[in-house]
Structure 1
Amino acid sequence: MAVIDLSGFVSQLKDHLVEHSFHIHEEQHVVETYSLSQSWYIYLHPEDACNGPMDLKVSLSISARELHSFEDKVAQDEELAANAFPLEVKFEWELPPIREGLDTLALALDLARFGDLDFPVSVGVRHEYKTVTDQPTHHLIVHATHSFSLNKIYMGEEFPCKAIVKAMEVSRHLLDQSSEWLTLP
């Protein structure tokens, strides 16, 4: 029997996201058959943004080796630091094609006000070519992470509201500003 219930933690995280006005569209739990690594993906957005244009994915992954190492430490009654065995919860926002020439540095500086050391926010652009003769499309990608430890999950601590509130603030900002960035059909 497992010492730690990660699926239960993910269920609590989803409930917490819903309490903070997120709407979950889809979720996945993937177990890699060779290594037994596990990943969870939650696809969501603010409740009032069902029709887009932004998508948000919350994900977390753990290797079987890391999980067994943690369980060994718990079984041996070893003292664990509060942040021992970090588990990164990743937030990734994506928007449909944006106009060329968007000042992503200015956007990164603008979004930095929502981040901090516990919730760093970064901005990137993915260039996509449908065919080699087509012009590229540019997709805005925003990343943030929050580190939460297996020890905190084991002790029954909830995922902090602060990170979810910040995720909603970033989502709101992206939704409010996106009409200026998106390419016209």
Structure 2
Amino acid sequence: MLFTAGGTIYVEWGPIRISEFGLINGVYIFCRFVMIIFISTAITLTTKPIDLTDGIDSLLGPLRKLNIPVDEISLMLSISLRFIPNLLDETQRVMDAQRARGTEFGEGSLVQQMKTLVPIFLPLFTNSLNRAEELANVMEVKGYQSGIKRSSFRKLRWKTCDTITLCVMAALTIGLILLRLN
């Protein structure tokens, strides 16, 4: 919005210009971010993390021929999806502890608000690193080694609803590309 020129210029301050095309571009980008958040939220709320991991592993399967570590990417996704709720709970606990010490969030200038977030991020970052190290130790103790061919408990099967979903998503993607070109 601030750096796209074109159309009527509403505000100009040095290199920053708010113009008609900039506002339109800003609205498009904002809508894209909102759609990404909605779609990712809908997917994570309606699909089990292990099913997402298996699906991504299956879809990225052909990249194995290019020596891309698909199994490691799937494992990272699975671990990250598994720990997002824990991280949210821990954030709430840390914020409650900071409130109990007298910290008030959302008040003051922008700089003051940023300073109130530091006591939240430091414990979260430290605890996340500790949890990652603990998980790495557990995986090592259980004998996990990357690059080894593993069997799968569940086998994915292509169904008619998968084909319909793929066609709808392809049509939406083509529609968005065509809208972007116009």
TM-score scaled by structure 2? Answer: 0.26
Structure number, greater radius of gyration: 2
TM-score scaled by structure 1? Answer: 0.25
Give the structure with the higher percent strand: 1
Give the structure with the higher percent helix: 2
